Amino acid sequence: MLVVDCTKDYCVKDISLAPEGWKKIDWVSRFMPVLRAIREDFERRKPFKGVKIAATLHLEMKTAFLLLTLKAAGAEVSAAASNPLSTQDDVVAALAEAGIKVYAIRGETREEYYENMHRALDIGPNIIIDDGADMVSVVHRERQELIDEIWGASEETTTGVIRLRAMERDGVLRFPVIAVNDAYTKYLFDNRYGTGQSTWDGIIRTTNLLIAGKNVVVVGYGWCGRGIAMRARGLGATVIVVEVDPIRALEARMDGFLVMPMREAAKIGDIFITATGNINCIRREHFEVMKDGVILANAGHFDVEISKPDLEALAVEISQPRPNITEYRLADGRRLYLLAEGRLVNLAAADGHPAEIMDMSFALQAKAAEYIKENHERLEPKVYTLPREIDEMVARIKLRAMGIEIEELTEEQKRYLESWEHGT
Ligand code: ADE
């Protein structure tokens, strides 16, 4: 049980940590020009005046800038964590000071995590911003009395979108959801370059080990896996990809990586990283053949990709050699090291994706909230992607901020692209 500062309007570890939180928020906001532009526009127009927004997000500094942007737009904002280990207590204290109803403490138990989510929901939101779909799921299972007031939700992650599409397929989804994850300016950058960098940031910060010369096994070759594998190669590793989809496996091979099943990769890997969104991708039969001293890390949303129950069952001793590293010593003396309790290593053992990346993802979230407000009456309880114009707007502001000008089509070229008569 944690000692906390809990009032009606917030539940934080220690409100006196706020000055450190403000410094962090100030730092990242300097590198988030797209969200800054949206904030200036929102501050002028106040599009969320009278609107209640509840968010379940990784409560770190870039997320704080999003929540402050929504508040500056006139919204009443509440927030809870989307993972018990990704919360930064100083940032949360700053948010509480800013008048955001925030309920989250790093290291909270599963029960406290859900209690805090319920507190955030108590504002009776019109819009939900979710990361992993836990909040939408809780509303459908336990807080159905809130549904009439909810116009819609937006979802940040691949894992969340998979869950929401399952709800749509089963006919249980009760309000529209915008799959922010599926916007080009999200997954091509956040999932690939964001996860690619922040996963290595978490692993390197935590272990202080060399990557060059190691066999790195990347499990899952979606956009996150692609980014992790690409950066592993850049760090000098031999990269092995484990993938169930034949097309992705082929792509991984032609991208220059070795491809093999987990039962083979398990014998030769030094560092294993999961990014599949699926359960028990690394399990007992794999731990049984691993080398002594391997590092196990997860970059997927939930802590189920590396089987902790199997590790616990195999271990004769469990210890903590360094913060965020759990050592499982097996009966034959081999030691397997699990980072950040198998939770997403980039957020639980580092600061999440770089600011320039979350700039785009959270610009999309802010625009998705506005889109829900403006269109909820005609939207059905389905999973939608954002209109292409919003994606292009984010890319254009980002390019401008990076000082990059792009080519434009001539009138002749536009006509050519629209015609079907031209041929050989
Ligand atoms: N920072 C805030 N949300 C994040 C996410 N979903 N992934 C990585 N970093 C983040």
Could you report the per-residue pLDDT of 122-150, keeping only the tens digit for each?
999 999 999 999 999 999 999 999 999 99
| Distance from C-alpha of 297 to C-alpha of 344, rounded to nearest angstrom | 8
Helices (H), 236-354: 246-254, 262-268, 284-287, 308-314, 345-348
State the pLDDT confidence band at 87, using cuts at 50, 70 and 90.
Answer: very high
Rounded to the nearest whole angstrom, what is the distance from the C-alpha of residue 269 to the centroid of ligand 1? 27
Check if 62 has its Cβ closer than 6 Å to any atom of ligand 1. yes
- Predicted confidence (pLDDT) per residue in 238-247, tens digit: 999 999 999 9
C-alpha 45: how far from chain center: 29
Closest approach atom of ligand 1 to CA 157: 6
What per-residue confidence (pLDDT) applies to 10?
Answer: 96
How far from chain centre, in Å, is Cα 14? 25
Q: What is the largest CA-CA distance in the chain?
A: 75
Per-residue pLDDT of 276-318, as tens digits, reads: 999 999 999 999 999 999 999 999 999 999 999 999 999 999 9
Measured distance CA(348)–CA(193) in Å, rounded? 18
358 lines ligand 1 (CB under 6 A): yes
pLDDT band at 421 (very low <50, low <70, confident <90, very high): confident
Q: Is 131 in the pocket of ligand 1 (CB under 6 A)?
A: yes
Q: Which atom of ligand 1 is nearest to the CA of 57?
A: 3
| Best residue among 32, 92, 131, 158 to mutate for probing ligand 1, ranked by most atoms within 8 Å of CB | 131
Hey, whose CA ends up nearest to atom 9 of ligand 1? Answer: 352
pLDDT-derived band at 331 (thresholds 50, 70, 90) equals very high
Say if residue 2's pLDDT is above 80.
no
How far does residue 229's CA lie from ligand 1's centre (Å)? 19
What separation in Å is there between the alpha carbon of 42 and the centre of ligand 1? 23
pLDDT single digits (tens) 262-280: 999 999 999 999 999 999 9
Which residue from 169, 136, 140 is spatially nearest to 153, judged by alpha carbons? 136
| Residue 59 in contact with ligand 1 by CB distance below 6 A | no
pLDDT number for residue 6:
85
Q: What string of DSSP letters covers 127-148?
A: EEEESSSHHHHHHHHH-GGGGG
353 lines ligand 1 (CB under 6 A): yes
Reading the block at residue 37, the tokens are: 């532009």
Distance 44 CA to ligand 1 centre (A): 27
3 has pLDDT over 70? no
**Tokens at residue 259, please?**
């491809």
Mean pLDDT throughout 354-379?
A: 98
Question: 265 with 217: CB under 8 angstroms?
Answer: yes
User: Is the CB of residue 359 below 6 angstroms from any atom belonging to ligand 1?
Assistant: no
